[in-house]
């Protein structure tokens, strides 16, 4: 199986979701409630992120998401409402 590098073009937040668009047009989004540190972060903290060849890092809240994990992510357990 070929391991193709994911190149992110854009990261943004809308409607309580984190969204990622890759250079090849792949788009993914997940509810912020799946990522408590991001959900509880301020807008300024969320928008202060660094992109690397492997993922996204938010230094203010010490959160990391790998691109591969983001596109394959399924929460292990969702909180009851």
61-65 contacts, C-beta under 8 A, 24 or more apart: 61/37, 62/37, 63/35, 63/37, 63/38, 65/18, 65/35
pTM, 2 dp: 0.80
Query: What are the chain's domains?
Result: 8-72 (3.30.2020.40)
**For the chain, how are helix, strand and coil distributed in percent, rounded to 5?**
25, 35, 40
pLDDT grade for 1, boundaries at 50, 70 and 90: very low
The arithmetic mean of pLDDT across residues 10-29, rounded, is: 95
- Ordered alpha helix ranges (H), the chain: 36-40, 43-47, 67-72
Tally the residues of the chain: 81
Percent with pLDDT over 90 in the chain: 69
């Amino acid at each position: 199986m070929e391991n193709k590098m994911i190149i992110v073009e854009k990261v943004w937040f809308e409607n309580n979701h984190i969204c990622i668009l890759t250079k090849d047009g792949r788009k993914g989004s997940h509810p912020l409630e799946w990522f408590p540190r991001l959900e509880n972060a301020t807008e300024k903290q969320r928008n202060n992120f660094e992109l690397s060849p492997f993922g996204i890092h938010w230094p203010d809240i010490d959160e990391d998401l790998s691109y591969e994990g983001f596109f394959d992510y399924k929460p292990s357990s969702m909180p009851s409402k």
